[in-house]
Amino acid sequence: MVKDKQPLYGRVLLKMSGEALMGCGSDTIDPQTLDRMVSEILEVHALGVQVAIVVGGGNFCRGRALSETGISRITGDYMGMLATLMNALSLRDAFERQEAPVRILSAIPMSGIVDHFNCRKAIHHLSYGRIVIFAGGTGNPLVTTDSAASLRGIEIGADAILKATNVDGIYNKDPAEHDDAVLYKNLEYQEALEKELAVMDLSAFCQCRDHGMTIRVFNMTKSGSILQVITDKETGTTVK
């Protein structure tokens, strides 16, 4: 039973990619995948955990990829920020269909659609049990949503950043290409840097290190994985 589970954290920042909303299909957003993820996040929310979310926009576009077609990198990154807003709107709609309290705070002003980001407002919403979705990245080009996740996680005083991936955690090499890849259960920041392990982009990773932020890397494609990583310290990889 969900109620029997004891959460390890009181407030978390969930970083999920835009591609995660595609599921196994080719559509930019798969409705069944979206509803499953929202239902699993609400299981965690039901435990009393305060949940904030940063979602990417890679299912629509990526600034770096667009720059290869001739669009300037700055313009492409702004387009990517708008893509994160579209994903945030889809998440909000899915939460509201399940009658969950939710707010979107965007780094880019979008009057009449979502509220503008304010750190104190975000903490206020979380303390009142509302799920908060951060959209628009940091509002700056040349910065990834990993950096948005580390920044927002630190700003709201999250106990941990949950980095959702499509593998079970951090490996010593790519598990998709190497059958003998070894999964790390626990890592220190310096060890991850020395071994050049891909956790998140370097600036975001160092920001988390400098502020003592715990990172949990886990496989979000597995059913029940969000609840598992919240209640079981052995799930995925822990970096601290």
48-105 pLDDT, tens digit each: 999 999 999 999 987 777 778 889 999 999 999 999 999 999 999 999 999 999 999 9
- Structural domains of the chain sorted by starting position, each given as residue range(s) with its CATH number in brackets: 2-239 (3.40.1160.10)
- Where does residue 8 fall: left (phi above 0), alpha (psi -120 to 50 degrees), or beta otherwise? alpha
Least confident of 59-63, 98-102, 145-149, 207-211: 59-63
Residue 196 has pLDDT above 50, yes or no: yes
Entry pTM: 0.94
Dist CA 161 CA 214 (whole Å): 6
> To the nearest whole number, what is the mean pLDDT of the chain?
94
Dist CA 110 CA 81 (whole Å): 12
Dist CA 200 CA 193 (whole Å): 11
Q: What is the average pLDDT across 139-155? A: 96
Dist CA 23 CA 181 (whole Å): 24
- What pLDDT is recorded for position 205? 94
Q: What is the average pLDDT across 107-133? A: 97
